[in-house]
Homo-oligomer: A and B are copies of this chain.
Amino acid sequence: MLKKLQNHINTNLSFLKEKKLLLAVSGGIDSMVLVHLCHHLQLDFAVAHCNFQLRGNESDDDENFVKSQIENLSPRAQSRGKIPLFTQKFETATFAKEQKLSIQVVARKLRYDWFYSLLANHNFDFILTAHHLDDSIETFLINFTRGSGLDGLTGIPEQNDKNVRPLLIFSRNEIETFAQENNITWREDSSNASDKYLRNKLRHDVIPILKELNPSLLSSFENTIKNLKQSQSLVDDAAKIVYEKVASEEEHHTVFDLTKLLKYPNHQAYLFRWLASFGFADWNSISDILIAQSGKQVLSNTHILLKNRNTLLLFPRQQTADEAIFWIEKDQVEVKVPLNLTFCNLSDISVQSTNVIFVDEEKLQFPLTLRKWNEGDIFYPFGMKGKKKLSKFFKDEKYSLLDKSNAWLLCSNDQIVWVIGKRQDERFKTTATTKNILQINYIE
């Protein structure tokens, strides 16, 4: 096992050599074996142990066990002293109560926050954890059981960011054998993983049957995830290549050209993939938006996806794209982005407010547009004779700089119909001869 790990580090993880490593050690068999392996290989490492204080004396016994074990390890390299040990007690339960989070989520956060502060304060390069191949197959099956995409079926990653898992090439069996042969002692693992029940069920009830069906399940699994990782890399390539053909990134938003995108028979697959990283998960509504009218939108927690004629616009919810023009089709009943408007045809006029206007539909040229103002814009303020520079209007109305930048214009053929929420334009007002009155409401 020592040879195999040495080889693995030389071949695949050579970036670990000559680096300062921090080992996450619970005191369980996996992490204790990791300690001994790193010690034998004379790697430059320290040990970090978290005491979450969730099981009273047992937690403290774990901490003391790790302490005594690490102290008893004799220095291997002449130049090095004792193995540095960091321990930290956490008020996990209190913290969880305060933050209204689950113990598992809090423990995870406390653990990683502490690791990263150790990394920063003591100049460690990487955190090593003792996940192995059996953990990885369990993760695969958990994700499969819950429903997953390709990403969830490529096992535990060997590295993400500063976290490295050098034991993923070993089975639980190999680790147990090594522990026995080298008289390594450990404490029964007391994982706080949120999926502990799932994991145990898979470990004790499911995986043994799969191993009976295929005694070399683990090596088949290694091949499977190797294959799937390769497929994943091809998926990434395709997503990137087609994105570059179809999408253009403006300053504040991204434009997807639907004319180009829809030429791909699997255009949904591309769109889902691009949008997933912006928090979109309701694929039905994204399928719908492809065939929806202009103005239709889908929201994620952070972003807005807006159908805008033959494009899709993607932008953060907090900011609308100031330079963008939003189109409004005839008979469209509402706009939600960049602001809330509703449209309805009326036979008689009943309400009046600065947030409601009535216009003569026949005077409009659809699609209407919504845009910010430009220097040089003019309009015909409702109830006045003649035109006025919009900049003058703003000044007279004592608009602040912010007011001006927040102002939206509803336009027909680029003529201002409404300085929204402020003043309607004279040219589009209803008259005695108006046949169809269009009521437009602005809901702040």
Contacts and interface: CB of A to CB of B under 8 A. Distances in A.
Interface of A: 140-141, 144-150, 153, 198, 201-202, 205-206, 209-210, 212-214, 217, 219-221, 223-224, 227-228, 230-235, 237-239, 241-242, 264-266, 268-270, 272-273
Contact of A270 (B150, B210, B234): B234
A139 to B, nearest CB: 13
A205 B213 CA distance: 12
Contact of A227 (B150, B213, B221): B150
Given A234-B234, A242-B237, A228 B145 contact: no
Contacts of A235: 231, 234-235, 238
Contacts of A213: 145, 198, 201-202
B221 A210 contact: no
Nearest to A231: B150
Contacts of A232: 231
A118 B214 CA distance: 38
B209 A149 contact: no
Contact of A144 (B212, B224, B233, B238): B224
Given A233-B266, A238-B235, A149 B227 contact: yes
A95 to B, nearest CB: 29
B224 A147 contact: yes
Given A231-B231, A233-B269, A237-B241, 11 more contacts: A145-B210, A147-B219, A149-B227, A149-B228, A150-B150, A153-B153, A206-B210, A234-B234, A234-B235, A237-B242, A237-B266
Q: Which 4 A-B pairs have the closest CB atoms?
A: A147-B220, A230-B269, A238-B238, A149-B227
A227 B144 CA distance: 12
A150 B228 contact: yes
Contacts of A265: 233
Nearest to A198: B213
A265 B229 CA distance: 13
Contacts of A202: 213
Contacts of A224: 144, 147-149, 153
A122 to B, nearest CB: 33
A198 B206 CA distance: 13
Contacts of A153: 153, 224, 228
A119 B168 CA distance: 51
A272 B234 CA distance: 12
A148 B227 CA distance: 7
Nearest to A212: B201
Contact of A205 (B209, B269, B272): B209
Contacts of A230: 266, 268-269, 272-273
A216 to B, nearest CB: 8
Contacts of A147: 214, 219-221, 223-224
A175 to B, nearest CB: 22
A268 B229 CA distance: 12
